[in-house]
């Protein structure tokens, strides 16, 4: 018999998504109040960026905490004390697998995932072709440390395994996946920011040195900038001097994009897995 010890905590994901909603709304109102802008003061610039960057952080925190909430709810379900009843449509063996994997881990071979028991030994519960669903190979058996999107892939796989015995994956080419991945990259860039050298070949008649024409950044940063521009991110308060390297893109449009795509991704994931979101917070946001 396996013993389950579950610490009961209220979910934090509703607070995070409401924070993202609130900060996006504040960023929108702030921009309207300060347009058309004179040269903004340092206080205006910092306050504006606080709303936008705070929204990005909250939107990603929502997705990270929500997928953890789902696994913790599976543990509660197995212990006989579900807190939010969000897994009621799932088969009990699926919930048991989710709880066991979250608690004890899963070992990945070349293609499959093998559930472990509390002694760290492999069980006979094998999930075929799971590795192909993951965005990158996870080396740790501790799912808590996995990339967030890989946690969503694992959950989607487990909830759809009976329909597709050889593996079912979320589409990494979909706009929803690409948007959430870009949002996570943006959050990580802002959180772990390091000053970067910017190499210019020198202004010419054909090449004007402007804040929006940043030149040769490292490939990863250029890809992030291009992705944000493709999402129509921009900052109408930016006046072309000072600030951090992404300030010309981090405006209310970016904040609203971050809030919207995180909530849309969660809603779509809910429909595809049968896992309920926390309906009161969704209704509170959408009815305003």
Over residues 99-110, the pLDDT tens digits come to 999 999 999 999
Where does the pLDDT of residue 210 fall: very low under 50, low under 70, confident under 90, or very high at 90 and above? very low
Q: Is residue 133 part of a domain?
A: yes
Other beta carbons within 10 Å of 6 = 18
Q: What is the mean pLDDT of residues 62-86?
A: 89
Q: Is residue 151 part of a domain?
A: yes
User: At residue 21, does pLDDT exceed 50?
Assistant: yes
Residue 66 lies in domain: 13-175+252-286
User: At residue 209, does pLDDT exceed 50?
Assistant: no
CA 138 to chain centre: 17
pTM over 0.75: yes
Residue whose entry in the numeric block shows the structure tokens 């509660």: 76
Where does the pLDDT of residue 4 fall: very low under 50, low under 70, confident under 90, or very high at 90 and above? low
Q: Is residue 141 part of a domain?
A: yes
Peptide bond into 36 cis (omega under 30): yes
- Tell me the β-bridge partners of 106: 115
Q: Which helix (H) or strand (E) holds 114?
A: strand 113-116
Closest CA to 152 of 262, 5, 11: 262
Q: Highest-confidence range of 117-121, 210-214, 215-219, by mean pLDDT?
A: 117-121
Query: pLDDT higher for 265 or 241?
Result: 265
Q: Which whole-number Å values give the CA distances from 85 to 78, 80, 278, in the listed order?
A: 12, 11, 10
Q: Is residue 193 part of a domain?
A: no
Q: Is residue 235 part of a domain?
A: no
Tokens for 14, please give them: 């509703």
Q: Is residue 232 part of a domain?
A: no
Residue 18 near residue 281 (C-beta atoms within 8 A): yes
Over residues 169-198, the pLDDT tens digits come to 999 999 999 999 999 999 999 997 765 544
The count of structural domains within the chain is 1
């Amino acid at each position: 018999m396996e013993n389950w010890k579950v610490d009961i905590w209220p979910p934090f994901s509703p607070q995070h998504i409401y924070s993202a909603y609130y900060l996006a709304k504040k960023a929108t109102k702030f921009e309207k109040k300060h347009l058309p802008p004179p040269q903004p003061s340092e206080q205006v610039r910092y306050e504006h960026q606080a709303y936008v960057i705070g929204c990005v952080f909250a939107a990603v925190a929502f997705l990270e905490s929500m997928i953890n909430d789902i696994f913790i709810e599976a543990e509660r379900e197995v212990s006989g004390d579900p807190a939010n009843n969000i897994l009621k449509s799932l088969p009990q063996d699926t919930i048991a697998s989710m709880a066991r994997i979250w608690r004890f881990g899963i070992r990945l071979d070349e293609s499959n995932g093998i559930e472990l028991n509390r002694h760290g030994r492999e069980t006979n519960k094998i999930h075929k072709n799971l590795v192909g669903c993951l965005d990158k190979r996870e080396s740790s058996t501790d799912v808590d440390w996995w990339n967030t999107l890989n946690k969503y892939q694992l959950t989607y796989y487990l909830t759809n395994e009976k329909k597709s015995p050889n593996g079912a994956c979320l589409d990494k080419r979909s706009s929803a996946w690409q948007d959430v991945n870009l949002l996570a990259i943006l959050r990580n860039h802002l959180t772990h920011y390091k000053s970067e050298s910017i190499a210019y070949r020198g202004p010419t008649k054909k090449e004007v040195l402007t804040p929006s024409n940043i030149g040769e950044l490292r490939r990863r940063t250029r890809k992030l900038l291009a992705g944000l521009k493709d999402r129509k991110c921009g900052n109408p308060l930016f006046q072309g001097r000072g600030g951090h390297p992404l300030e010309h893109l981090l405006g209310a449009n970016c904040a609203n994009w971050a809030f919207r795509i995180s909530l849309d991704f969660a809603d779509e994931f809910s429909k595809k897995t049968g896992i309920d979101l926390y309906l009161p917070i969704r209704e509170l946001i959408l009815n305003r």
